[in-house]
Amino acid sequence: MARPLTKRNEEGELYVRPSVVEAEIDGAMLDDLPTLRRRLLVVDKAASDFLRSETLVHLIRHAVLTGNAERRDVVLPVLLGRCEAILKGKVSYRLPNAETLREYVLSEFSELLAADGTKEQLDELDFYECRFNLAFCALRIDVVRRELAEVNGGAAIPDENGSDEPQAYEDAVAVLSTSLANSETQQSPVYLEELLAAIDALPPDERKAVVLVHVMGYDEESEDPDKVTAATLCNCTGRTIRNRLSRAAAKLSRFKEDA
């Protein structure tokens, strides 16, 4: 049986794995090593033997906890391989030092795995067992954001109208959803998907304002003419940014009412 999660959200509620992940973990924990090796080769997500990344995280954590290095070393390369594939598709070549950024993200994730269960990282990986893609997305955006913040004092979001647009907005909207990772949204994936779709469907100027201010943390404006803000990145006034945020909030208000 899967070890219970201990991490709590901002409301003090325990994180909860989706039932399908819980069941898959319970089954995989009973697999002998040859069976596990065979299942790890399955890449068709619709196949009954396919193992989700959430399950792989649990298997690695359990192997480390029980001192089963052989089982850990069988699962770990597969999970890291999936992470590398995600990073190749999500961290655009248009970003400065894209290859280095990918290495940074993979390194930080590996460090999380290595430090799991320690006083510093007691339950940091719990969310990865619930929503791996969202958790890994948040990690890579954090790394990319830190790196870009060091370039010329700030980072401009790539032009969304470009034919080669990287995944900046998809990533940013996804990381925004981590703040919604409470028990209700975990039990109601339709609610979360509808909210993310609504954010993504905002007019480009409103969506960009939301991403810059509420995801990337830029100030709306500043009296310092040299400071990079949402207004400077959008080449408009702070008042315009606030108007865009207000319009976006009005369109998203029904989700607060329905929550």
Query: Could you give all domains of the chain from N- to C-terminal order, each with its CATH number?
Result: 1-156 (no CATH), 157-259 (1.10.10.10)
Predicted confidence (pLDDT) per residue in 196-239, tens digit: 667 777 888 888 888 778 766 678 999 988 788 889 888 899 99
Q: What is the reported pTM?
A: 0.62
Residue with tokens 């975990």: 186
Give the residues across from 8 on adjacent strands.
Answer: 14
Q: What is the mean pLDDT of residues 112-127?
A: 84
Q: What is the pLDDT of residue 92?
A: 65
- Alpha-carbon distance of 170 to 231, in angstroms, equals 21
Residue with tokens 């997305």: 137
Predicted confidence (pLDDT) per residue in 28-39, tens digit: 999 999 999 999
Q: What is the pLDDT of residue 201?
A: 79
Predicted confidence (pLDDT) per residue in 71-119, tens digit: 999 999 999 999 999 888 877 665 557 788 889 899 999 999 988 877 7
